[in-house]
Amino acid sequence: MESLQGRVYLVTGGGTGIGAATALRLVELGASVTVLGRRVEPLEAVVAAAERSGGAALAHSGDVRDPAAVQECVDATVARFGRIDGLVNNAAGNFVTPAERLSPNGWRAVVDIVLNGAWNCTSAVGRRLIEAGTPGAVVSVVATYAWTGHPGTVHSAAAKAGVVAMSKSLAVEWARYGIRLNCIAPGPTTTEGAGAALWASAEDHDRVLASVPAGRFGTPEEIGDLTAFLLSDQAGYVTGSVLTADGGQSLGRQVYGSPVADIAGTAAR
């Protein structure tokens, strides 16, 4: 993987799960990172881990739903590290509920975190990059149900679809400033947040696992690696794209005939 030495990134929801793993991967590659989240303790744990590995990180507590708090975070990042090169929109909120039981406030909470939060952060970082005249990159963590839809997560699916459309729109609009915007769509990934929201019981967990042709969940570190790649100059010609990393889940399972036996005679998963 290409070095990110000297680069500075903001990772939202950076205290736990995919955000924390991504922040630490960026630090490992030489970048300095601000982790933004609502709870300060996990953010400070990520900063401590970054510093133990010889890197630099800043914990900033705030809510991505609040444009003023986001601007404060971008300003604090520039004050501490002298610049900013990009953003990882990872903060998310989610729960599974039948749409007919979703309250106006439940819809608003998820759409505000996922879509408005991504916009607040992207516009604050984008404006800063444009003013400074420096190129940059934004990676937003979405989900394949942004384009397939998914029952029980109408709020999250609609919001993630909005993030994909936002990224594609700005990929064209901001190409002249050298700002690239891409998305990553992870499948089920071993994080506490997603687990609690989407597969809380053992039965749900096994059902989700059975839906993945690769036969396993993804890891936060795998998503962190892909994010680092998309932020790096190795992906310099990649913009407006969505990279799916879901073990084949969104492609579905074999439904015609029987699962094919492999050459050792064991049934394929």
CB-CB contact of 12 with 88 (8 Å): yes
145, 177, 237, 256: which is the annotated catalytic residue?
A: 145
Chain-centre distance for alpha carbon 74: 18
From candidates 67, 95, 177, 248, binder to ligand HXC by CB under 6 A: 95
Which of 30, 67, 106, 152 touches ligand HXC by CB under 6 A? 106
Residue in 5, 105, 258, 266 binding ligand HXC, rule: CB under 6 A: 105
The one segment of 52-60, 91-99, 128-136, 168-176 that binds ligand HXC by CB under 6 A = 91-99
Count interface residues toward ligand HXC (CB under 6 A).
Answer: 18
Residues 184-243 that bind ligand HXC (CB under 6 A): 187-188, 193-194, 197-198
Cβ–Cβ < 8 Å for 19, 37:
yes
Tell me how far, at minimum, the Cβ of 267 lies from ligand HXC, in Å.
26
Find the binder of ligand HXC among 33, 73, 110, 121 (CB under 6 A): 110
- Measured CA to CA, the distance from residue 75 to residue 56 in angstroms comes to 17
Instruction: Based on the residue annotation, tell me whether 9 is a catalytic residue of this protein.
Output: no
To which residue do tokens 């915007």 refer? Answer: 181
Given 97, 116, 190, 219, the residue binding ligand HXC (CB under 6 A): 97
* In contact, 6 and 30? CB cutoff 8 Å: yes
Given the complex with ligand HXC, which of 130 and 197 has the nearer CB atom? Answer: 197
| Nearest to ligand HXC of 58, 110 (CB atom) | 110
- Report how far residue 22's alpha carbon sits from residue 149's, in angstroms, rounded to the nearest whole number: 26
H, E, C per residue of 41-70: HHHHHHHHHHHHCCCCEEEEECCCCCHHHH
State the pairing for strand pair 86-89/179-186.
unpaired
Stretch that binds ligand HXC, among 20-28, 48-56, 68-76, 90-98 (CB under 6 A): 90-98
Q: Phi-psi bin for 134: left (phi > 0), alpha (psi -120 to 50), beta? A: beta
Task: Output the DSSP codes for 147-198.
Answer: HH--TT-HHHHHHHHHHHHHHHHHHHHTGGGTEEEEEEEE-SB--HHHHHHH
Q: Rounded to whole angstroms, how far apart are CA atoms 246 and 184?
A: 10
Min dist. Cβ of residue 228 to ligand HXC (A): 20
Whichever of 163 and 179 has its CB closer to ligand HXC, that residue is 163
Q: Is 109 in the site for ligand HXC (CB under 6 A)?
A: yes
User: Least distance to ligand HXC from the beta carbon of 53, Å?
Assistant: 26
Please, what is the minimum distance in Å from the beta carbon of residue 264 to ligand HXC? 32
Count Cβ atoms below 10 Å from residue 2 Cβ, excluding itself.
13
Interaction residues for ligand HXC, span 145-164 (CB under 6 A): 156
Q: In angstroms, give the least distance from the CB of 136 to ligand HXC.
A: 25
Q: In whole angstroms, what is the distance from residue 21 CA to residue 40 CA?
A: 17
Q: Annotated active-site positions, please?
A: 145
- Contacting positions for ligand HXC (CB under 6 A): 92-95, 97, 103, 105-106, 109-110, 143, 156, 187-188, 193-194, 197-198
